[in-house]
Amino acid sequence: MKRVAFHNLGCKVNSYELDIMRQKMEDFGYNSVPFEEEADVYVINTCTVTNIADRKSRQMIHKAKKRNPNAVVIAVGCYVETDPDRVGTDEAIDLAIGNNRKAQIAELLEEFLKGIDNEKKDARSESGGDIGSDGSGTSTEGSITDTVTGGERLRRRTLGGRTMSDLTHRPEYEDMQLEDPGHTRAYVKIQDGCNQFCTYCIIPYARGRIRSRRPGEILKEIRTLASKGIREVVLTGIHVSSYGLEWDAQTDAVRFDPHKSGAFLLDLMQQIRRIPGIERIRLSSLEPRIMTEEFVKGIAAMPEVCPHFHLSLQSGCNATLRRMNRHYTTEQFMEGIELLRRYYESPAITTDVIVGFPGESNAEFEETVSFLEKVNFYEMHVFKYSIRKGTAAVAMPIQIPEPVKGVRSDILLEMTQRQSKAFRAGFIGKREEILLEEKVQMPFGLCWKGHTKRYVEGYIPCEAAGTELREGQLAAGTFTSAADGTEGLFFVPDEGTNGES
């Protein structure tokens, strides 16, 4: 049986798609092995969100080829979409597949291998000998293409363009059906693409225009997952808040409409919550503008929806938000926060913040600091602005020096550690419910680890828990104290119930 190894870079959507590709390859008779082992085929699911991500993608591609020079190395995803010139000239890449062809990876690989076999046969026929055959059934381009140009190589690596889609015009959503996520919590992709064009972001070019997955396909996948014991699904996508907006649109230039997309999302979640076995629905990153009163009121009426919301802010200064082309103000963002806190008790609200965006003055940064203190997030993911070739922000004046970015990042990291610790401490002594995910070895012993609906991490020492707990179980109990050296709390399951809720 041929061996295939996978490596994933980037976001949760990429992780979901990698699980799909692994499933497809195994269905075609391939045996999955760790990336560190020698394999016949290596699949690198690339990321391109920053120049650093591009470099990491190239490094992993080259590492795979170095590990087994005779293997077929497949570069997949965002890096392939945004830098075709380098993909065409990089000799470590054998096959390149775009973002809307991942579900067809096994068929595309078989077509590629068949083409290689035919070329070898032609070469042997012309020479009268046995040229280039190593018996492995895999091949690099080798001597066959030593004199081929970069453009011809790119065409060869994309099977004449068949491994790619034109993402500048809205393509059809590429449906994928995940059957076994291998985790207690399942990510379910419901949407792809982005129409927002933030000035620092390459993703609309890498992922293309918005396209949404039809409810029937989503429900089919979740029913399968529920039948295998999955209790929590996370609805994910590139711009989840745009779900359904393009379905009746006449052009690709679909404008964001929070009332319309909010209605589509609410309807989808109402259908998901009726699937037997599904007890939690978690939303991934959301556009702040979707937090209208009708949307917040609608999700609050569904007890299955986790009160854990990631609203991407990026800056707490309106002038900076305008340069970022973020389409909302801090006042509008705060209105959404206040709505969530009106309808939910202690909702867990997380965010992303970029420091050192071009033109960010000391006064603008202080404005951001003041706003972040006022909001008081559960967690903030802090990023130092990274120049990304191909985006509008590259040409903006007043690029901020790296040492300044570092100082600003440290200030926000200290803030989020303080705010997050205080949020978690508020649950000590309270009854909660955690989804048991895995056993982990901690400094204080072997523990069950799990999360609440608000994504507060809990640890149950195995020594005290007995043998009744199991992976994927929802356990009710009480948080007792902070688990030193972690970002979680100790959790004691209810007695007499084996912890089962």
Distance, in Å, from the CA atom of 243 to the CA atom of 268, rounded to the nearest integer, reads: 10
Task: Verify that 419 and 445 share a domain, yes or no.
Answer: no
Identify whether residues 50 and 139 lie together within a single domain.
Answer: yes
User: Of 127, 157, 187, which one is at a domain's C-terminal end?
Assistant: 157
**pLDDT higher than threshold 70 for residue 501:** no
Number of domains, the chain: 4
Q: Are residues 92 and 206 in the same domain?
A: no
The answer on 385 and 265 residing in a single domain is no
Q: Select from 279, 306, 333 the last residue of a domain.
A: 306
Residue 494, judged by CB atoms within 10 A of its CB (0-12, 13-18, 19+), counts as middle
Q: Is there a domain that residue 501 lies in?
A: no
**Whether residue 290 is found in the same domain as residue 358:** no
Cβ-in-10-Å burial (0-12, 13-18, 19+) of 18 comes to buried
Structural domain includes residue 145: yes
Q: What's the pLDDT tens digit per position in 118-128?
A: 766 665 666 65
Q: Is residue 131 part of a domain?
A: yes
Q: Assess whether pLDDT exceeds 90 at residue 500.
A: no
- Kindly report, residue by residue over 430-444, the tens digit of the pLDDT: 999 999 999 999 988
Could you tell me if 207 and 283 lie in one domain? yes
Please name the residue that has the structure tokens 């490596």.
Answer: 7
Give the structural domain span for 153. Answer: 3-157
Q: What is the CATH number of the domain that holds 435?
A: 2.40.50
In what side-by-side order are the strands of the sheet with 185-189? 185-189, 232-236, 280-283
Asked if the model's pLDDT at residue 145 lies above 70, the reply is no
| CA geometry: angle 222, 226, 227, nearest 5 deg | 120
List helix spans (H) across 128-214: 150-157, 203-207
* Residues 443 and 415 grouped into a single domain: no
pLDDT at residue 147 is higher than 60: no
Residue finishing a domain among 248, 274, 306: 306
239 and 351 part of one domain? no
| CATH code of 409's domain | 3.30.750.200
Structural contact between residues 238 and 194, judged by C-beta atoms closer than 8 angstroms = yes
Q: Is residue 500 part of a domain?
A: no
Long-range contacts of 189-192 (CB under 8 A, 24+ apart): 189/13, 189/16, 189/17, 189/213, 189/236, 189/237, 190/218, 190/235, 190/236, 190/237, 190/240, 190/243, 190/268, 191/237, 191/238, 191/239, 191/240, 191/242, 191/243, 192/13, 192/99, 192/100, 192/237, 192/238
Same domain, 356 and 393: yes
Question: Do residues 469 and 499 lie in contact, with contact meaning Cβ atoms separated by under 8 Å?
Answer: yes
- Return the pLDDT at 170: 75
Tell me the two tokens of residue 85.
Answer: 């010139």
CATH code where residue 300 lies = 3.30.750.210
Q: What is the CATH number of the domain that holds 66?
A: 3.40.50.12160
Same domain membership, residue 9 and residue 135: yes
pLDDT at 150 over 90: no
pTM summary value: 0.90
**Interval 28-40: pLDDT, tens:** 999 999 999 999 9
Same domain? For 337 and 248 the reply is: no
Q: Are residues 54 and 33 in the same domain?
A: yes
